[in-house]
A and B are shown apart, each in its own frame.
Chain A
């Protein structure tokens, strides 16, 4: 093998560093209009009146669209995975977060479009927002979502994602200590180099060419086709290289509405978000609330884990049920814990919907479980490397879902870091491998995990 494994130059690297890579916003076509949005100024409100007539009459304005112009306004990005739809493309009747788009204007300049968007008349009736996920189940909590304050559509009608494994009661009874803690990583912005941008060109053939900054061409094309109720062959997505995504460009934020404006005006339409819109109105990484109680022995075995996760989804579900499920599948981290009791909820709040971001669902649980691991080691007076190595998952162990690990590398990566920082380990830890547990390394509490030791 010569090409694989070689330090070859990046395919498009020279174009990137010499400024020649074309961003979506670099594409300009003749007759192009600019779009601007009317967005909700409230976290939660009913829309009592929406009148676009003044805006439509303004100089340079070619089209205004509201929810009435969308053939299928409510579409779920993950309907195929059994996650039903709740989010309207354009607000219809009420708004669930500050910055939610209500109407879009296409005009001959961004200034004209912005002025017309401001001229749209709206009357709101403000409602009390729900913002603290810890209070979502209180009797006096505002009811903010059609499904209730948390997502109720997991398999078999469960209102939470559950993991159950082994005998958690016995693990807690057998433990020498039960160490619990609370972990709360923050919402953060994706901060892509290029904010959300689309240019939609109506072609003479009747097709739409959509220049998109999506990080998933076919996924976003499917979303536009679903909202428009069009077959895929009437759409051509052009993209391929974009200015960063980190998960936020899976949202298909600009393409569909720009397409509706292009169809209504018969002109190419570009909608490019300002950096301020990107910070305030684009989806974020979710804030998570995680509580862990681990049943441990004095010599550092983790017998069982009980965990509660509250995932702050913002106003709509988007990808959150998927993210929480992934989170639950990885809530033991790089270790084998035989007895588990996990409950996770996707909670709705009146903030910008959260979405995928680098490490979706797992970045949060890695933070919680790893800091907890260090706390356990400190509490027991043990070496944090050795507690990790002891519980590290090994070939033949099983995951929270009961799937056998075939190539875990927890042990080799920990040993490499111990070496790198010059951390001394006792000889039996230094000699550990990722191979199946056997002999003295197969503790009684893991027998059921790895089957009969005679087999190894």
Chain B
């Protein structure tokens, strides 16, 4: 009876935007008489930080300070369509919509500035809240002055609109799954290593460390993306060793109906987490960004399960890896039933779980191991 350490790894990928695309997001912007900026977007912020990210994209694109931005996603009367905050799309798809709206508003801002400065808009730039002549930085007018001139002198409302829609990719060959267009907006990548300690007496798996590397394309806000990666790791840990709605799946008995009988990760479960962010910019994401929000809970379960094997020599392929599952796997190993079965070049693991051990011989739901 002892505690054993083990390590395992994983490498994963995940798409940005709805599978097969076809999911629009739209935004519009207006500039107040003092140059402050109102952004209207339909993106719900469910804690993912999209208000912050989209405000940063607008501030960067317009050339004004972050704290000049008011972001309104409060209702459908004032905000245009956003398909939703899912499919890792709020930074990439909805972010592209506000980016385009900001470019549009910037163009209109420069038209007014051009009249005020009597310089072609092509020769103007916006830097930290000021419209500056390229090559002659002393010639400038502040964005608040331009906005005031638009309102009181020119009788113009400075606005911008933007929409992002990657066209729907149809499955043109149902037999093979072939699509007529790329079925995603971008793909993000991650790798993970896990270190666990397994108690072979109690079956308990404790995740001690996680190392994670995510290619985020471009970190619009490094603090937020690190938070998303670390938060995702905790959710992945829950998937790997703690959470299940049906403890006797496929049975439905003893469902947890409250905290305490259902176990999401708590602070006592947290491992040391090392996060590495790398940036291979996406060709068409806003400032090169990709979406990594969902995939943040994907790499941990397989790395943890591999680490459990490394520690105690059993493959637990049903999640979560509860103490009961670990102990039963150790018992099977002791009895010499852990497998795999070898038959010619076939190496067959997990026969006790296979559909072939459960389904009637006439069922179409069977797995033919050979070709």
Residues of A in contact with B (beta carbons under 8 Å apart): 1-13, 43, 81, 98, 131-140, 154-156, 158, 161-165, 168-169, 171-173, 175-189, 191, 193, 214-219, 221, 232, 235-247, 249-250, 275-276, 279-280, 284, 287, 289, 291, 293, 295, 304, 306, 308, 310, 312, 322, 325-326, 328-330, 333-334, 341-342, 345, 347, 349, 351, 356, 358-363, 366-371, 373-375, 378-379, 384-385, 388, 392-393, 400-403, 405-410, 412-414, 416-417, 420-421, 434
Roughly how many angstroms separate A139 CA and B250 CA in the complex, as a whole number?
19
List chain B residues, Cβ under 8 A from A161.
177
Selected contact of B224 from candidates A10, A158, A185, CB within 8 Å? A10
Is the beta-carbon distance between B365 and A384 smaller than 8 angstroms?
no
Is the beta-carbon distance between B45 and A1 smaller than 8 angstroms?
no
In the assembled complex, the CB of B172 is this many whole angstroms from the nearest CB of chain A, namely 9
Q: Which residue in chain B gives the minimum CB-CB distance to A7?
A: B223
Roughly how many angstroms separate A279 CA and B257 CA in the complex, as a whole number?
5
Roughly how many angstroms separate A367 CA and B318 CA in the complex, as a whole number?
10
Is the beta-carbon distance between A181 and B350 smaller than 8 angstroms?
yes
Interface size class of B (residues with CB under 8 A): 35 or more
Is the beta-carbon distance between A367 and B8 smaller than 8 angstroms?
no
Is the beta-carbon distance between B75 and A237 smaller than 8 angstroms?
yes
Q: Which residue in chain B gives the minimum CB-CB distance to A400?
A: B177
Is the beta-carbon distance between A412 and B280 smaller than 8 angstroms?
yes
Is the beta-carbon distance between B60 and A4 smaller than 8 angstroms?
yes
List chain B residues, Cβ under 8 A from A434.
280
In the assembled complex, the CB of A454 is this many whole angstroms from the nearest CB of chain B, namely 25
B192 part of interface (Cβ distance < 8 Å): yes
List chain A residues, Cβ under 8 A from B66.
3, 6, 8
List chain A residues, Cβ under 8 A from B191.
410, 413-414, 416-417
Selected contact of B294 from candidates A328, A358, A393, CB within 8 Å? A358
Given contacts A217-B44, A334-B12, A366-B299, contact A171 B318 (CB under 8 A): no
B302 part of interface (Cβ distance < 8 Å): yes
Selected contact of A179 from candidates B20, B71, B280, B347, CB within 8 Å? B347
Is the beta-carbon distance between B12 and A370 smaller than 8 angstroms?
yes
Is the beta-carbon distance between A3 and B9 smaller than 8 angstroms?
no
In the assembled complex, the CB of B181 is this many whole angstroms from the nearest CB of chain A, namely 8
Selected contact of B179 from candidates A162, A308, A334, A403, CB within 8 Å? A403
Roughly how many angstroms separate A308 CA and B81 CA in the complex, as a whole number?
37
List chain A residues, Cβ under 8 A from B59.
3
List chain A residues, Cβ under 8 A from B239.
185-186, 188, 363, 367
Of B112-120, B154-162, B212-220, the one touching chain A = B212-220
Selected contact of B189 from candidates A158, A361, A373, A413, CB within 8 Å? A413
Is the beta-carbon distance between A374 and B302 smaller than 8 angstroms?
yes
Is the beta-carbon distance between A334 and B13 smaller than 8 angstroms?
yes
Given contacts A291-B367, A371-B306, contact A180 B349 (CB under 8 A): yes
Is the beta-carbon distance between B55 and A217 smaller than 8 angstroms?
no
Given contacts A185-B239, A417-B191, contact A402 B178 (CB under 8 A): yes
Is the beta-carbon distance between A406 and B283 smaller than 8 angstroms?
yes
Is the beta-carbon distance between B360 and A417 smaller than 8 angstroms?
no
List chain A residues, Cβ under 8 A from B348.
180
Residues of B in contact with A (beta carbons under 8 Å apart): 7-15, 19-20, 22, 42, 44-47, 49, 51-52, 55-57, 59-60, 65-66, 71-77, 79, 81-87, 128, 171, 174-179, 182-184, 186-193, 211-215, 218-224, 232, 235, 238-239, 243-246, 249-252, 255-259, 262, 264, 274, 276, 278, 280, 282-283, 287, 293-299, 301-303, 305-306, 309, 315, 317-320, 340, 345-351, 353-355, 358-360, 362-365, 367-371
Q: Which residue in chain A gives the minimum CB-CB distance to B84?
A: A216
List chain B residues, Cβ under 8 A from A368.
302
List chain A residues, Cβ under 8 A from B56.
3-4, 6, 8
In the assembled complex, the CB of B62 is this many whole angstroms from the nearest CB of chain A, namely 9
List chain A residues, Cβ under 8 A from B296.
358
List chain A residues, Cβ under 8 A from B298.
359, 362-363, 366-367
Q: Which residue in chain A gives the minimum CB-CB distance to B224?
A: A10
List chain B residues, Cβ under 8 A from A243.
46-47
Is the beta-carbon distance between A407 and B282 smaller than 8 angstroms?
yes
In the assembled complex, the CB of A403 is this many whole angstroms from the nearest CB of chain B, namely 5
The list of the 4 closest CB pairs from A to B, nearest first, reads A216-B84, A370-B302, A172-B371, A137-B363
Given contacts A245-B46, A379-B347, contact A417 B213 (CB under 8 A): yes
Q: Identify 17 residue pairs between A and B in the complex whose beta-carbon atoms are under 8 Å apart, listed by A's number.
A: A3-B60, A10-B52, A131-B251, A131-B252, A139-B363, A180-B348, A186-B245, A186-B249, A188-B245, A216-B44, A216-B83, A242-B46, A246-B235, A293-B369, A373-B10, A374-B9, A410-B13
Roughly how many angstroms separate A91 CA and B311 CA in the complex, as a whole number?
49
List chain A residues, Cβ under 8 A from B362.
138-139
List chain A residues, Cβ under 8 A from B249.
186-187, 287
In the assembled complex, the CB of B81 is this many whole angstroms from the nearest CB of chain A, namely 5
Is the beta-carbon distance between A135 and B360 smaller than 8 angstroms?
yes
Q: Which residue in chain B gives the minimum CB-CB distance to A402?
A: B178
Given contacts A137-B364, A139-B362, contact A401 B243 (CB under 8 A): no
Roughly how many angstroms separate A257 CA and B227 CA in the complex, as a whole number?
36
Selected contact of B85 from candidates A5, A216, A385, A392, CB within 8 Å? A216
Selected contact of B213 from candidates A13, A193, A237, A413, CB within 8 Å? A413
Given contacts A359-B297, A370-B302, contact A412 B278 (CB under 8 A): yes
List chain A residues, Cβ under 8 A from B222.
5, 7
Is the beta-carbon distance between B302 and A188 smaller than 8 angstroms?
no
Selected contact of A131 from candidates B175, B212, B250, CB within 8 Å? B250
Q: Which residue in chain B gives the minimum CB-CB distance to A9?
A: B52
Is the beta-carbon distance between A421 and B211 smaller than 8 angstroms?
yes
Is the beta-carbon distance between A5 and B215 smaller than 8 angstroms?
no
Given contacts A3-B59, A178-B346, contact A403 B9 (CB under 8 A): no
Given contacts A218-B42, A245-B85, contact A367 B309 (CB under 8 A): no
List chain B residues, Cβ under 8 A from A13.
52
List chain B residues, Cβ under 8 A from A403.
179, 182-183
Most buried by B among A188, A189, A238, A291: A188
Q: Which residue in chain B gives the minimum CB-CB distance to A80?
A: B22
In the assembled complex, the CB of B178 is this many whole angstroms from the nearest CB of chain A, namely 5
Roughly how many angstroms separate A6 CA and B255 CA in the complex, as a whole number?
44
Is the beta-carbon distance between A217 and B371 smaller than 8 angstroms?
no
In the assembled complex, the CB of A274 is this many whole angstroms from the nearest CB of chain B, namely 9
Is the beta-carbon distance between A407 and B317 smaller than 8 angstroms?
no
Is the beta-carbon distance between A333 and B12 smaller than 8 angstroms?
yes
Is the beta-carbon distance between B301 and A367 smaller than 8 angstroms?
yes
Is the beta-carbon distance between B365 and A134 smaller than 8 angstroms?
yes
Given contacts A359-B295, A410-B11, A414-B191, contact A275 B258 (CB under 8 A): yes
Roughly how many angstroms separate A123 CA and B255 CA in the complex, as a whole number?
25
Roughly how many angstroms separate A138 CA and B85 CA in the complex, as a whole number?
39
List chain A residues, Cβ under 8 A from B49.
10-11
Given contacts A180-B369, A333-B12, contact A135 B44 (CB under 8 A): no
Is the beta-carbon distance between B84 and A219 smaller than 8 angstroms?
yes
